Amino acid sequence: MRTSLLLLLLLAGAAVLYAVATPTAAADGEWRPIPDVADPHVQGLGKCAVNERNKVANCGLMFSKVVGSKVQTPGGTRYVLDVDALRINASHKIYQAEIVDQSSSGGSGCKLVSFGPNC
């Protein structure tokens, strides 16, 4: 009886320690949805993402619009965008692009982190 109680206490203590020692992805920040995807800045980032994608993959995508977006805080320069784009055969498809906004740090444009699905 006594040993099982002790074991339980040890387990509970370990669980608390584990929870304290692993702050959930604090280094990576938190993703916040952007309420106003119509924001020209956000739309511009979507266009930039499609342009960057076309440079590295021969997709011939045409940017249509950003339909969803979230931004990482703190920082506010890393975005995940749901981008509606036109393919060569004129059909629309939603792609997800992760980008780093480089327009605020003096430069212009964006750095493409990931883009999918494959076009």
Interface residues with ligand NAG (CB under 6 A)? 87, 89, 91
Nearer to ligand NAG, 58 or 91 (CB): 91
- In the bound complex, what is the minimum distance in angstroms from residue 88's beta carbon to ligand NAG? 8
Six token digits for residue 12? 């509970």
How far is CA 32 from each of CA 18, 57, 65, 104, 116, rounded to the nearest angstrom? 26, 29, 20, 19, 20
Helix (H) or strand (E) run with residue 21 in it: helix 2-21
Nearer to ligand NAG, 55 or 92 (CB): 92
- In the bound complex, what is the minimum distance in angstroms from residue 91's beta carbon to ligand NAG? 4
- In the bound complex, what is the minimum distance in angstroms from residue 59's beta carbon to ligand NAG? 10
The amino acid at residue 5 is: L
